[in-house]
Amino acid sequence: MPGIDECLLEAMRLPGALGAAVVDWTSGLALGTVGDAPGGDHETTAAEAAELARLAAEHRAFAPDEEEGTGWDGQDPPVEDLIVSNRDTYHLLRFVRTTFDSSVFLHLWLTRTDGNLALARIRLGEMAGRLVLG
């Protein structure tokens, strides 16, 4: 089972990958980074992406029907992933399910010209399932 560094290097092998990070969304801290950072600063990017992740995970508007009205239970975030696109890149945030508080996500950014969003989403899901933290 891969750790953070191995997971990030695997993410960078995806077509169009510009950079990747493992982020704790409760603190906004990057637990690991690789490649370029949007805006040139990994820590700022991690903090800003964490705000977006918290918004999606803690608001019931994004919860599955069976969890309607409950919000985040502290174990399983109600959201699998978030996709944000702009003129030239895709940002994919994939929540990592853990045995403790599930407050970690993978953040991958890809070029729109070379990146394959569907493939990236599938591979990040696989990586999130194998990632070992600790």
- Note the pLDDT tens digit of each residue in 70-115: 555 555 667 889 999 999 999 999 998 876 666 899 999 999 999 9
pLDDT of residue 74: 54
- Average pLDDT value for residue range 49-75: 72
Q: Structurally, how many domains does the chain consist of?
A: 1
Residue 36: both structure tokens together: 């370029």
Is the model's pLDDT at 1 over the cut of 50?
no
CATH of the domain at 58: 3.30.450.30
Contact 6, 127 (CB under 8 A): no
Residue 101: both structure tokens together: 């508080």
State the residue range of the domain holding 18.
4-130
Virtual torsion, Cα 30, 22, 31, 19, nearest 10 deg: -60
pLDDT of residue 121: 96
Which residues lie across from 96 on neighbouring strands?
104
Q: Of all helices (H) and strands (E), which one includes residue 15? A: none
pLDDT of residue 60: 73
